[in-house]
Chains A and B, each alone.
Chain A
Amino acid sequence: MVAEKFTIAIEDSDEAFTCSSDRNVLKAMEQLGRKGIPVGCRGGGCGVCRVQVVGDGRYRTGKMSREQVPVDDERQGICLACKLFPEADLRLKVLGRWQKHFITGMNPEAA
């Protein structure tokens, strides 16, 4: 069976790319050289690639860190892009914590 291809659009940006149903969204983005979702561990552990599926696009997810995606979040369509497999075209809102750690001297922009 040939995997179906879907369009992944990133909210608040012009970024859009295709992803097949057997590939996770983060990997599809990286392999096409596209940007928009922060990339961390690629294993569902670190939460850096957190996104929210907006609208009613269907999707599957692999096993994700509960600490990063609590049950309530998951019900609201929040998931980790590295464990997200599309089953329809999807619109994603990026939540990834590019949280800055302004520990003095540890800010990469200043370093």
Chain B
Amino acid sequence: MSFTGVMRPGHAAIRVLDMDESVTYYTERMGLMKTDEDDQGRVYLKAWDELDCFSIVLREADSPGIDYTGYKTFSRADMDELVGKLEDYGIDIEWIAEGELNNCGERARFQTPSGHSFELYSEKKQIGDGLGRTNPNPWPEGLKGMQVYRFDHVLLYGPNIIETTKIFTDVLGFDLTERVLTPEGEMNVTFVSCSNKAHDLAFVEYPEPNKLHHVSFMLMTWEEVLRAADLMSMHDISIDIGPTRHGITRGRTIYFFDPSGNRNEVFCGDYTWYPDREPITWTAEELGRAIFYHDRRLNENFLTVVT
């Protein structure tokens, strides 16, 4: 088996202004399933095609945004090895006890120079997709709303993204898959992958630290993206842009907002990444096409609307 180390984005902890409204949105509209709630009032959700018992944790707070993003390693030994490498690199680790999030093992939390919190963990209870691992059906009946398959990635805004990206590529074994270069040749947008997806995480250089641009969920087809957009109009969900295509990752996408103003994305159809590929470079003049392939220009909202 050649797939070890960091496997995937395993959870995102999102702050919301109103829990009831948000749970309705993430379950009825997005199509996640509520799997748990803890004594702090945090709500745990998973997408149908995920086997682990949660991938999104909602916390009611007075400002929206993201608390942290967690990445699951293949094994505890892999996690310990990567934590050792982070410490050697000069990064402080805060250990979060097993069970602090229900049904999740010990987590190693660290901060990036962009101001964001990340975690590594290796254990989370698997509850399955309801289809089983023997002679399964292709999909479960009774799914709701947009019927997203999985939590896929986050795009984060903050300062020092070159240094931040280096932690993922030089220490944690991610590959740089795409980047945007300024006229001076500096990276100000980076996409990185820990798998053979086109991205598992992305950063945009921004003056304010610890900002969330979007939390993304995967669909399989363009028709499903269109259907998701229809549901947004049916339920008066705030649409940002799309359905359209990204130049970066080739993804077919729509951006929209949860009831607290956190941006979400559903997308399909990026390419398969292999580590023998050279990263794709976008130049500053073509940035419009890189972000929104059809509009071919940047909009203010992409650059300034964050939580």
The answer to whether A and B interact is yes
Residues of A within 8 A of B188 (CB): 103-106
Contacts of A111 in B (CB 8 A): 284-285, 287-288, 297-298
Docked pose: A45 CA to B306 CA in angstroms? 8
Provide the residues of chain B in CB contact with A108, threshold 8 Å. Answer: 297-300, 303
CB pair B206–A97 under 8 Å, yes or no, is: no
A48 and chain B: residue at smallest CB distance: B305
Is residue B238 contacting chain A, with contact meaning CB distance below 8 A?
yes
A96 to chain B, nearest CB (A): 10
CB-nearest residue of chain B relative to A65?
A: B63
Smallest beta-carbon distance B257→chain A, Å: 4
Determine whether the beta carbon of B284 is less than 8 Å from that of A63. no
Q: A65-B62, A66-B62 are in contact. Are A104 and B261 (CB under 8 A)?
A: no
Q: Please give, as numbers and ranges, the residues of chain A lying within 8 Å of B180 by CB-CB distance.
A: 105
Interface positions of B from 174 to 216, Cβ below 8 Å from A: 180-184, 186, 188, 204-207
| Cβ-closest chain B residue relative to A44 | B261
A16 is an interface residue with CB less than 8 A from chain B:
no
Docked complex: B12-68 residues within 8 A CB-CB of A: 17-18, 62-65
Q: Which residue of A lies closest to B285 (CB)?
A: A111
Q: Is the CB of A105 within 8 A of B303?
A: no
Alpha-carbon gap, A46 to B287, bound state (A) = 23
Question: Does B260 count as interface, using CB distance less than 8 angstroms?
Answer: yes
Residues from chain A with a CB closer than 8 A to the CB of B62 are: 65-67
Q: Are A41 and B18 in contact (CB under 8 A)?
A: no
The contact of A105 among B238, B257, B287, by CB within 8 Å, is B287
Q: Could you say which residues of chain A place their CB within 8 Å of the CB of B64? A: 43, 45, 65
Closest Cβ–Cβ distance, residue A95 to chain B (whole Å): 14
Within 8 A of A (CB), among B73-94: none
Kindly state the separation between the CA atoms of A41 and B299 in the bound complex, as whole angstroms. 14
- Measured between beta carbons, the chain A residues less than 8 angstroms from B181 are 105
List B207-259 residues whose CB lies under 8 Å from chain A: 207, 238, 240, 257-259
B64 to nearest A CB, angstroms? 4
The residues of B that contact A42 with a CB separation of less than 8 Å are 238, 257, 261
Residues of chain A with a CB closer than 8 A to B63's CB: 45, 65-68
Q: Which residues of A contact B259 (CB under 8 A)?
A: 43
Residues of chain B lying within 8 A (CB to CB) of residue A44 = 17, 260-261
- CB-CB contacts below 8 Å: A1-55 with B: 38-46, 48
In angstroms, Cα B64 to Cα A68, docked, is 10
Set of chain B residues within 8 Å of A101, measured between Cβ atoms? 206-207, 303-304
Question: Chain B's nearest CB lies how many Å from the CB of A23?
Answer: 12
| Residues in B neighbouring A41, C-beta threshold 8 A | 238, 240, 257, 261-263, 305, 307
Give min CB distance, B195 to chain A, whole Å. Answer: 28
- Tell me how far the C-beta of B58 lies from the nearest C-beta in chain A, rounded to whole angstroms: 14
CA distance A43 to B17 in the complex (A): 9
Contact bitstring A65-99, B, C-beta under 8 A = 1, else 0: 11110000000000000000000000000000111
Decide yes or no whether B137 CB sits under 8 A from chain A: no
Contact between B307 and A98, CB atoms less than 8 A apart: no
Q: A45-B307, A66-B63 are in contact. Are A104 and B301 (CB under 8 A)?
A: no
Contact of A43 among B65, B257, B298 (CB under 8 A): B257
A105 touches B183 (CB 8 A): yes
- A45 to B257 CA separation, bound complex (whole angstroms): 10
Beyond known contacts A43-B259, A48-B304, A65-B64: 8 more, CB 8 A cutoff: A41-B305, A45-B64, A45-B260, A66-B62, A103-B205, A105-B180, A106-B188, A111-B297
